[in-house]
Amino acid sequence: MSEKKHGSADNGWTCGLSNMLRKENGIWIGTHKWIVQSIIWSIAITGSVTFVMYLITTLPAAVQPEVINSYGMGAAALQFFFNISGFVSVIGVIILTHDMIISERESGTAEWVLSKPLSRKAFVISKLVTAIVWITAIIVILQGVLLLIVARLFGGAVDIVPFIKGLSLIWLICVFYITMVIFLGTLTTSRGAVFGISFFFFLLGSLVPLLFPKSYYLMPWKLSDIAFSVAMSISWSPKVVLPIILTVIWSGLFIAGSLWRIERIEI
């Protein structure tokens, strides 16, 4: 059932955006949420890499991972980082974003803020921008910096420019799931549904490509593996550009879907 749209269309889609962005960022800064989340995901991602690196240094050289013998400790740190980050970062995104829209609708906050000079599109865009900014800072940039420190502590060298390129693919994975989860939040009022669908889709990345190998090129499921190759400057097939392009397209479609859907739901 369609209903009256809150927020003045006459003032355009940016109406109230700056105020909403201040509100959303205030949730992170004013409550020290950024500190807590930084600690949690640093332990989960870089802490896990550090622990694994410590364990392999205790192994005899004959049984250490082949990547160490071939490329050195820096390569091992990168491999563990991209493997762990490719998994944990998605979990972090889903946890941090799965109720961004739903919680506001349940509490009545959405109805209240949309009764002010605020467009519905600005409401969603503020959620997207805030999530992307803080997740980029905490789960991508901070972990990348910490990984460089960890690699150096274990005597490994990391080429900065290729590493940044590889890290940008982890960022792209995060953006994909941020946009997808927020889009799902405009389709349902069930936190469980949003969390479950998002996580199930992520798990499909371990199964579907085994049955349909070409699906690797359609979804971001293998971007963390590509990220390692990029960070190591290892030659790879030009075909791997396809999942990167399609991930960008999917993210854009999710954003467009969220903006379309928010105008049609009952708040």
pLDDT digits (tens, 9 = 90+) for 20-38: 899 889 989 988 899 999 9
The first and second tokens of residue 135, run together, are 């997740």
**Tally of CA atoms within 13 A in the half-sphere of 1 that contains its CB:** 4
With respect to residue 8, please indicate whether it lies within any of the assigned structural domains.
Answer: no
With respect to residue 84, please indicate whether it lies within any of the assigned structural domains.
Answer: yes
Q: What is the DSSP string of 172-223?
A: HHHHHHHHHHHHHHTT-S-HHHHHHHHHHHHHHHHHHHHH-GGGGGTSGGGH
Residue ranges for the chain with pLDDT beneath 70: 1-11, 61-71, 107-115, 267
Q: What is the DSSP string of the chain?
A: ---PPPS-GGG-TTTTHHHHHHHHHHHHHTTTHHHHHHHHHHIIIIIHHHHHHHHHHTS-GGGS-HHHHHH-HHHHHHHHHHHHHHHHHHHHHHHHHTTTTHHHHHHTHHHHHHTSS--HHHHHHHHHHHHHHHHIIIIIIHHHHHHHHHHHHTT----HHHHHHHHHHHHHHHHHHHHHHHHHHTT-S-HHHHHHHHHHHHHHHHHHHHH-GGGGGTSGGGHHHHHHHHHTT----GGGHHHHHHHHHHHHHHHHHHHHHHTTS--
The residues, any chain, with a CB within 8 Å of residue 67's CB and separated by 6 or more, are: 75, 76, 79
With respect to residue 11, please indicate whether it lies within any of the assigned structural domains.
Answer: no
Q: Tell me how far apart the alpha carbons of residues 88 and 157 are, in angstroms, rounded to a whole number.
A: 24
Predicted local confidence at residue 85, as pLDDT: 96
Its sign, for the CA torsion 85, 87, 92, 97, is positive
With respect to residue 5, please indicate whether it lies within any of the assigned structural domains.
Answer: no
With respect to residue 1, please indicate whether it lies within any of the assigned structural domains.
Answer: no
With respect to residue 100, please indicate whether it lies within any of the assigned structural domains.
Answer: yes
Predicted local confidence at residue 10, as pLDDT: 47
With respect to residue 2, please indicate whether it lies within any of the assigned structural domains.
Answer: no
**Cβ pair 140, 164 in contact under 8 A:** no
With respect to residue 88, please indicate whether it lies within any of the assigned structural domains.
Answer: yes
Predicted local confidence at residue 147, as pLDDT: 96
| Overall number of domains in the chain | 1
Write down the pTM of the prediction.
0.90
List the domain range (segments joined by +) for residue 99: 18-262
